[in-house]
Every structure is written in C-alpha cells, then in structure tokens.
Structure 1
Amino acid sequence: MFNYRIDDSLILTLLETRDAEALYALIDRNRNYIGQWLKFPSMTLSVDDSKAFIERTRLRYAKDDGYWIGIWEGGELVGSIGYLYIDQDNRKTEIGYWLGQEYEGRGIITRAIQVLIQYAFSRLNMNKIEIGAASTNTRSRAIPERLGFQCEGEIRDYEFMNGQYLNRVIYGLLASEWDSRSGGTRD
C-alpha cells in the first residue's frame, strides 16, 4: 500500500473508505475554488460520491492503472495527488493534483510531486511524466515549471467548464532530465 512520510507532519497515503467524509468535506469547502479548473467538484455531491471515488481508485491501484493518494498534514486531509494513468507500453504517466485553497503557498504540492516523480522513475520504471494545467491556472502551472518540466504545448479548447472553454498547457519531464537534476540517482 502506498504510504510515504515526507516530513514530521506531511504524509502521502492511498485513500481508504474511512477517508470519504474528510475528502468530501475538503472538496465541499473548496468547491468553487477548485471548480474553476477541475470538473470533479461538480460531480462530488455527497460523502457517497467520495466513497465511490475512493473505491475506484483503490481498484485502479490494484490493477497498476493509476491512482490517487491523500495528502495529509498534521493528520488532516489537505489535498490529493495521483497518477492519472500508468502506460507501461510507453513508460509514461501523468500526475494530477489539487489542494484546498487554505493550504496553498506552503510548498505542499511541490514536495508531494517530487515524491511521485522519484517513485515513477525509480519504482515504476517510467521514462516520462506529464502534467497538464489550465492555461489560466498560473499557480498550478508554476509547479511543473519550478520542477524543471518542459512546456510541450497548449491544447486549445481542451475542456468545457463553467460555460467556457479552457485551454490546457502540457508539461513533460524525462527520466534523463530528472537524473541530471537529482545527481544521477533514482533511489
């Protein structure tokens, strides 16, 4: 089971059914904020919706087909991060993430992404990691840029949300680029 302690207060763990209420409460508190760029808040209308999501992600984890992980700070769920898919044939994955607005600006997502990058390259044997973000979501876009991802392009009218089309910027990082940044080690 995926469980990683980043520091004394920050932990990444695979979500469990018992986390459904905390997950729903976090989404509900941040529904409008997160919903500017992501669709899932509009589809998460009850604790049962969160429970069903957790069950689906646990099945995907068992199938090695991508999964979501809870980000916990001081025992409180503050966001989620995960591999949207794991493409073994092409040795690539995409990382998705979100954080409650009240927890932004403290480096939580950056540190969590670094863990998933290292894990994808060293344990999952991936060659490439992608991150996509709405072109207008400057806070989210700053994270892959800060971590050395290359901007690979912008997909116009990628997603229709809140009565408008959002463009999506795609970032990519190769294992060789990460190795050169991290001193050549994947351990």
Structure 2
Amino acid sequence: MFTLPLGDDDAQLRPLEPWHAREFLAHMDRARPYVDPWIPWATYSTDLDSATATLQRYADRQAEDTRRIYGIWLGGTLVGGVMFTDFDAATGVCELGCWLEAEAAGRGLVTRACGVLIDWAFRERGMSRVEWWVAAHNTRSVDTARRLGMTRDGVLRQRSAYGGKRHDIEIWSLLSDDVPPADADELPAPAVKAEKAELDRLMRVFLGAFTNTGGSRPNVDVVREVFIPQGTIIANVGSEPVVYDLDRFIEPRQKLLTDGTLTEFSEWEVAERTEIFASIAHRSSEYRKSGFLNGEPFEGAGRKTTQFVRTPAGWRMSSMVWEDV
C-alpha cells in the first residue's frame, strides 16, 4: 500500500479499503453534517456493516478499473478523501470527487490530493478528460474546481434530486492538453497550479485593499486577513529600511486614502515570479501605481518580494519588502 505526503509532514494520501471501515465510520460520524448534502453515501454509511459495504463497492469497482477511492489522513486521523466516481479508460474520461471534515478545511488538502489523482490519470493512464460534477450551490466544491484550473463547461438544470428538491449540476473539466509537464521532484502540475492560484489571489486582495478609484472606499484592514498576525512589511524607499508590524502599516494608510490626500489610487502587478516549496513560497513582483496626491496626478513603479507560509487556515503572507524605482 502506498502513502503519499500532501505537502505537510502530518498529511498523507492512502488507498481507502474495506478494512478501514471502523475508522471510516468514525470519520463519517464526525463529517456527516458537513458533507452529507454533497456525498450521497455519507447518508448510507451509518453503521459498521454499511460503512464496510460502501468501501467494498469501491474495492470491487477498482478491481474492474471503473472507480477508486483514497483517504486523507491528518496527524494519523482520517479526515476526508478523494475518489474517481467514474473511470472509463476506454473513452479516456473520468470523474473526480472529494469530501473533508470541517476541522480539516482550509489547509489545501483536497486540492493537493485531487492534483495527485489528476496527475496520475493523465500521465500514468493516458486519460484525456477529468470531469468535476457539482451542485451549483456547493460553493466550496466550485471553488476547488477553479483552484484546480478547471473550465466550467455548462449546467444541467435540475439534474439531481436531494431533500425533496431538484438541483442544478455544474460540469467542470480539465483536459490533458491543459496541464503543462511537471518536473519529477515537484508536486503534480494541477496541484502546483492550484497553489499558485491561491497565492495570486492573496496578492490581488492585498493590492486591492488600497484602491479608492471611482469613489470606492479602500479596505486596508483586509491586510490582516492575508497576513499572519506576526507579519512584517518593510519599506526600503529611503535612507534606511522602515519595518512595520500590521498595525503600524495599516493605520496611516487608512487615513491617507480616506481623508482626501490620496485619491483615485490603484496599484497592480505587471510581472511576477513565484516559487513554491511544500508549505512555504516566495514571490518577486514588479508593480505600477497611479493616483492623485494632494490633487496632483502621479505615477510610480517598484519591486516587491513576498514570503508566504501555509497555515491551518490556508496560505498567508508572512513578510513583504518593497522599493520604489
């Protein structure tokens, strides 16, 4: 039986087999309120016999090469999993699914585990298309599809029945042509793409926090959400660096952007390079900015370096240094 690390030392991906039934049942009892609306067999795995039957069905289908299921363990505890709900080697099309306990959310575990399965499907089995079927109102699953770099193909209206109601189903997909080659020592390409997308989002949120164009109000306090509480921001723009904690950085900029001193301001990246090393990452950026300072138009440019760490709540910035040029 294989065991694959998922970026964190205490997170692992392993096959989920019938002999795991007791552990699987305990996990389902914890996870059921969180996953039951989306994973139908969560409803059916309510005692040891039914939990065993669920895993046995997947074991039988794996022997037929039509389905597979894998568990995600965190700190030695089963907290979720990923599966091929359908695997058709003849047509080159498979469907991917996932679930996770609430307490394990926000770590990127599902995204990285799905990346492993996608990589295996494309590179080892020669599949052409990986599909992701999701209830339109399941926002967590839709967000995962986006992080995996999938394309939304369309909607099947009222395709699924649950809880006495009909629900729309969105179909997302990733094609083998969409995935660039990955180096042997790196995470699978879809997982890397998903991690990179999250770092891109953090940078957009950070830069967007200062925008006050078109009468919009800046939200500088959102910097606290993208940084760890101990984060540092360093301005290397004068005779010597100025080091800020989050409070010292936020307060004067909130005033500057709301008291009329700095108006129609925006800042954006024009180039970047991001390197991801398991649970840490580094980004080098070039940026431009423009606005009106005391009523006078100005434009500027500069460089930033940003460090990121993966926390239990997901990726966060840990430090940033910038200089104007």
The alignment's TM-score, normalised by the length of structure 2, stands at 0.54
Q: Map 1:93-132 onto structure 2 (within 5 A).
A: 93-132=94-133
Q: How far off its partner does 1:2 sit?
A: 5.2
> What code does the residue aligned with 2:129 have?
K
Q: Any idea what SS the aligned residue of 1:166 has?
A: strand
Of the two, which has the highest radius of gyration? 2
> What code does the residue aligned with 1:4 have?
L
Q: Map 1:54-93 onto structure 2 (within 5 A).
A: 54-93=55-94
Q: What residue in structure 2 maps to residue 52 of structure 1? A: 53
> What code does the residue aligned with 1:87 have?
D
Q: Any idea what SS the aligned residue of 1:20 has?
A: helix
Residues 39 and 161 of structure 1 are in contact (CA less than 8 Å); yes or no, is this contact kept in structure 2?
A: no
**Unaligned 5+ residue runs, structure 1?**
none
Q: How far off its partner does 1:36 sit?
A: 2.1
Separation in 1, partners of 2:54, 2:36: 17
Separation in 1, partners of 2:97, 2:85: 6
Change (3 A) 1:3 1:125: farther
Which has the higher mean CA deviation after the structures are superposed, 31-40 or 99-108?
31-40
Q: Any idea what SS the aligned residue of 2:51 has?
A: helix
Change (3 A) 1:29 1:132: same
Q: Any idea what SS the aligned residue of 2:33 has?
A: helix
Separation in 2, partners of 1:124, 1:3: 19
Q: What residue in structure 2 maps to residue 5 of structure 1? A: 5
Higher strand share: 2
Q: How far off its partner does 1:98 sit?
A: 0.5
Separation in 2, partners of 1:176, 1:117: 12
- Deviation readout 1:58-111 (Å, 9 max, x if unpaired): 122222111111111121101111111211221111111101111111101001
Does residue 168 of structure 1 match 2:169?
Answer: yes
Q: What stretches of structure 1 move > 2 A for 4+ residues in a row?
A: 1-8
Separation in 2, partners of 1:74, 1:158: 38
Q: How far off its partner does 1:140 sit?
A: 0.9
Residues 34 and 41 of structure 1 are in contact (CA less than 8 Å); yes or no, is this contact kept in structure 2?
A: yes
- Deviation readout 1:137-187 (Å, 9 max, x if unpaired): 11110011112100001111121111211211110100010127x58x989
Separation in 2, partners of 1:2, 1:58: 16
How many residue pairs get matched? 185
Separation in 2, partners of 1:178, 1:150: 12
Q: What residue in structure 1 maps to residue 23 of structure 2? A: 22
Residues 88 and 94 of structure 2 are in contact (CA less than 8 Å); yes or no, is this contact kept in structure 1?
A: yes
Q: Any idea what SS the aligned residue of 2:180 has?
A: helix
Q: How far off its partner does 1:4 sit?
A: 2.5
Separation in 1, partners of 2:18, 2:95: 24
Residues 9 and 74 of structure 1 are in contact (CA less than 8 Å); yes or no, is this contact kept in structure 2?
A: yes
Separation in 2, partners of 1:149, 1:108: 17
> What code does the residue aligned with 1:10 have?
A
**Unaligned 5+ residue runs, structure 2?**
190-325
The alignment's TM-score, normalised by the length of structure 1, stands at 0.91
Q: Any idea what SS the aligned residue of 2:179 has?
A: helix
Q: Any idea what SS the aligned residue of 1:97 has?
A: strand
> What code does the residue aligned with 1:75 have?
G
Q: Any idea what SS the aligned residue of 1:30 has?
A: helix
Q: How far off its partner does 1:17 sit?
A: 2.7
Q: Which has the higher contact order (CA 8 A, sep 6+)?
A: 1
Q: What residue in structure 2 maps to residue 147 of structure 1? A: 148
Q: Any idea what SS the aligned residue of 2:37 has?
A: coil
Which has the higher mean CA deviation after the structures are superposed, 26-35 or 169-178?
26-35
The sequence identity of aligned pairs, in percent, is 32
